Amino acid sequence: MNFFEHQDRAKQKTTRLVLLFGLGVLALIVSVSAIVVFAFASMDANTAHLFQAYGARALLAPEVLILLEYVGAGVIAVVLLGMFFKNMQLKGGGKNVAESLGGKLLNPNTQDPNERRALNVVEEMAIASGIGVPPVYLLEEEGINAFAAGNTHHDAVVGLTRGCITHLNRDELQGVIAHEFSHIFHGDMRLNMRLVAWLYGIILIGLIGRIVFRLAASSGRSRGKNDNKAPLLIAGIGLMVAGYAGSFFGGLIRAAVSRQREYLADASAVQYTRNPAGIAGALKKIGASSHGAALKASGASEFSHLFFGEALPSSFLGLMATHPPLGDRIKRVDPRWDGSFTTPSRKPQDPKREKKLKERFGFGGKGVATAAVLGALGQVGEIHEYNIQDAQTLLGRLDPVLHEAAREPLLAKVLIYGLLQSKDPAIKVTQHALLEEKLGELHEVNNLLTRLATLEAQLILPLVELALPTLKTLSPSQQTTFKETLKKLIEADGKVSGLEWSLYTILSQSLKGQEPKSGHKTLLTCKAHAQVALSVLAHASDHDTAKAFAQAFEKLDVGPMELLKKTALRFRQLEHALEELSTLQPKHKQRLLEAMIICVGFDGVVSPGEIQLLKAMALSLGVALPPLIASA
């Protein structure tokens, strides 16, 4: 099942979950209504008389029906209010979840070897998948655990416990992180965030019941023993029971959904790393550790379904367990497991195989074969062993000074500014004057600008992706100033190149972290917008523009369409077109991307510049392409 099929499946799962949640709220309305009617019957003589005279038929009396309507509306209002409140808390994405769990942003310049190894593995995995490198948070917990949280891969973070980075070797850590990236790719992360908000709305009923109970109890003590507080006490207890019963059944839904997704993420981790010993070893170490995967953080219960391992002791005979039994998970990835929680040493890899992997790609070629790029589209949302090897190759060729600069806020901004340097000496003078005004006289700035001038084209996007977690630490006002400076650098020569638009689009898309729009449109309804996107790509290529456009549009199968003239195209027009195209159904989005690749690869090769433009446009559509290294 590819990425686009997973998106369709995720939509179906969300729809089913909404139906189950709706049934839970309906059951909550019925139970709360019964409690409130009982409380009123014991407090109001007229209501009590109705039930004494008519029994259950009294529920049809106008005054009782009105009461039930008010109760039903009140329950729905409370649940929606709770959901809205929790959604607002989680709007900041994974950062808010990590901080609520006591996580601290891992210092990119840390000298701790375990922390640096964790950062390196996350960087490799992110670049191998084509998404921006997520910020890494460290939880000072002894348990071996990890999580991925966020609404989209733009605002996603990866959290690791101290026990995880200390006790796991590199292969095991890679397996755990690959497991978490699977949750990002398959839509589990976003679904998990929704579950948190929905369950909070149900729990809020119980919290209100507790408040009512306490108010009734305290008012009774202050007014004397004869005060008739019994109905309020009954209502408070009833609301507490109803709220926590709703929470119980909601927890069952959450646990059932989470357990199935954990099996898939384990299998995906094996598929990504081609090393079942990695994730199996991590699971065995959890079983062997006295701390296991347990967490002490106060928010652990609310976010328990986000973690790699069972963060809390399961109850109710395991029905509320958010993760499958540890032994079952190990058996699925290591069928020969003997039941012992010891970690076997990994067999050394075949040196010949290692050599083949390292020689698979080279640098300095014209570009990537079109067939290879089309093949990469089929790997979106997945990571293969050679993707990780590609990421390691890219990071290995990157200037260490630039790599380190990407981890420091001021220098990370300089890197992006420097990538926009013009080759025209006169324009470059104007740009440098602007940077001097913004940054002052800094030796590091001139050093970085000199190094960036000779940076290989294939290393531009990996460098940008490395700088993203650092740039996300900038305050909103600093990010605004940063983007305004980028615009001024781009506008210095009075025109916008494909590279300039690509870099600005990738950065703005990644920094704003908006939730993707719900896909429901078809290519037929978005035909004019597809025409704009393909026309821009056709004109950006060096080959026969008209034929490339015609062949690409033939792939869309939406009827004839003419190539737009280059003079009639503007990048703002392209941005609007991509915004509309981002609402395509997943299968239509896949077809559009295939047409885009055919357009830029009409001559059989996709150049580094075309790859940059293609990746920026794909990111605007909500699709992260894996790394594409030009063949030798």
- Hey, CA dihedral for 552, 556, 560, 565, is it positive or negative? negative
Alpha-carbon distance of 183 to 265, in angstroms, equals 6
The torsion defined by the Cα of 218, 222, 228 and 230, in degrees rounded to 10, comes to 20
Which candidate in 123, 124, 172, 180 is catalytic? 180
The widest CA-to-CA distance across the chain, in whole angstroms, is 96
Q: Shortest CA distance to 124 belongs to which of 158, 92, 77, 166?
A: 158
* Burial degree of 315 (CB within 10 A; 0-12, 13-18, 19+): exposed
- 151 contacts 246 by C-beta, under 8 angstroms: no
Q: Rounded to the nearest 10 degrees, what angle do helices 276-288 and 230-273 cross at?
A: 140
Other CB atoms within 10 Å distance of the CB of residue 33: 21
Alpha-carbon distance of 122 to 145, in angstroms, equals 15
Indicate the residue type of 58.
A
Q: Shortest CA distance to 273 belongs to which of 263, 285, 265?
A: 265
Indicate the residue type of 359.
E
Per DSSP bridges, beta strands 157-161 and 136-139 are: parallel
Say which residue the tokens 């997520």 belong to.
134
Q: How far is CA 387 from the centre of its chain?
A: 20
- Rg over CA atoms, the chain: 28
Alpha-carbon distance of 71 to 32, in angstroms, equals 8
Alpha-carbon distance of 538 to 559, in angstroms, equals 18
Alpha-carbon distance of 504 to 471, in angstroms, equals 13
Alpha-carbon distance of 180 to 149, in angstroms, equals 9
Alpha-carbon distance of 461 to 615, in angstroms, equals 9
The torsion defined by the Cα of 259, 263, 265 and 271, in degrees rounded to 10, comes to 180
3-state DSSP helix/strand/coil % of the chain, to nearest 5: 65, 5, 30
Which ranges of 44-148 would DSSP assign to H, the alpha helix? Answer: 45-54, 62-89, 94-100, 113-129
Give yes or no: 180 in active site.
yes
Alpha-carbon distance of 17 to 256, in angstroms, equals 11
Alpha-carbon distance of 319 to 431, in angstroms, equals 62
Tokens of 190: 């976003």
Alpha-carbon distance of 553 to 36, in angstroms, equals 63
Alpha-carbon distance of 534 to 564, in angstroms, equals 9
Kindly state the DSSP code that residue 134 receives in the 8-state scheme: P
- 83 contacts 200 by C-beta, under 8 angstroms: yes
Alpha-carbon distance of 268 to 251, in angstroms, equals 25
* Burial degree of 580 (CB within 10 A; 0-12, 13-18, 19+): middle
Cite the active site residues. Answer: 180
